[in-house]
Structure 1
Amino acid sequence: MSQTMKPVTAAAKLGIYLPAAPEEFRTSPITRAELDALRADPPQWLIELRRNGPFPREVVAQKLGVSRSGLARAGITEPLDADQIGALIAEPPEWLVRERESYREVVAEKARQNAR
């Protein structure tokens, strides 16, 4: 018998926002073989979700160059799509500039500590 994972786990592994996935994906356990198949030959819905979103918080934070807690401090609690992220990058609000700088400092400090 093949191991299965919950849809939320499979969505996290694929980097997609689960509520935006098709119902069949959201409501059925996923086997490792099915997950590998989705990675190897993604269906159109997965290609579109990865390209345009909406994206989960982890992906939004990564695309904006901030931490997830930085998103929370800015009041960004909903998933964002590619257009919304693009608009923030094109004209970064003050919070985004501040959170990016803070995030860069944290990453640099971690790298410095790891180099010891």
Structure 2
Amino acid sequence: MSQKTPQTMKPATAAKKLGIYLPAAPAEFQEGQVTREELNTLLAEPPAWLQELRVNGPHPRPVVAHKLNVSIAGLARAGVEDALTTEQIEALLADRPQWLQTERASLAAVRAEEKRVREAAETK
């Protein structure tokens, strides 16, 4: 019997699964392949660098959108294309620029409509 080779993924895929911004990760993470076992270990017992990235960022766009409670498209419409740190996100939440208020209202309306459609489909 031949020995199974471990399933590996590109660093970008692993970063996405970890919810981190790849360019902010250590070079050894960015340059190598990540096995499924290594990913599970990172998820279960995150090292200091991963904990730091998750707390302070910079955060990838999906995480930024989630923390601001807007869609990724809403970030793009507002011209937010770069990764943001937790400090920058908190400043936006404190300042509440007009684009943020508009995009949050838009996402809330979309979610309400999706809920209405879901409930209508369940009653049929």
Q: Which runs of 4+ in 1 moved over 3 A?
A: none
**Cα RMSD (Å):** 0.6
- Measure how far apart 1:45 and its partner are: 0.2
The 2-side partners of 1:112 and 1:20 are apart by 40
Give the letter for the 2:105 counterpart: E
TM-score, length basis structure 2: 0.92
Shift of residue 108, structure 1, vs aligned partner: 1.2
Identity of aligned residues (%): 58
Larger CA deviation: 55-64 vs 106-115: 106-115
* Structure 1 counterpart of 2:85: 81
Give the counterpart of 2:45 among 41, 48, 62: 41
AA matched with 2:75: L
Q: Give how far 1:73 is off.
A: 0.4
TM-score, scaled to structure 1: 0.98
For residues 15-94 of structure 1, the aligned pairs below 5 Å read 15-94=19-98
Deviations 1:80-110 (A, max 9, x none): 0000000000110000000000000111111
Equivalent residue in structure 1 for 2:106, among 87, 102, 106:
102
Displacement of 1:113: 1.3
1:56 & 1:68 partners in 2: Cα distance?
10
Q: Which has the larger radius of gyration?
A: 2
Instruction: Give the gaps of 5 or more residues in structure 2.
Output: none
Q: CA deviation digits over 1:27-46, x for unaligned, max 9?
A: 11100000000011100000
Gaps of 5+ in 1: none
Tell me how many residue pairs correspond in the alignment.
Answer: 116
User: Of residues 4, 14, 19 in structure 1, which corresponds to 2:18?
Assistant: 14
For 2:90 and 2:75, the matched residues in 1 are separated by 15
* CA distance in 2 between partners of 1:94 and 1:75 (Å): 13
Distance 1:83 1:33 in 2: 33
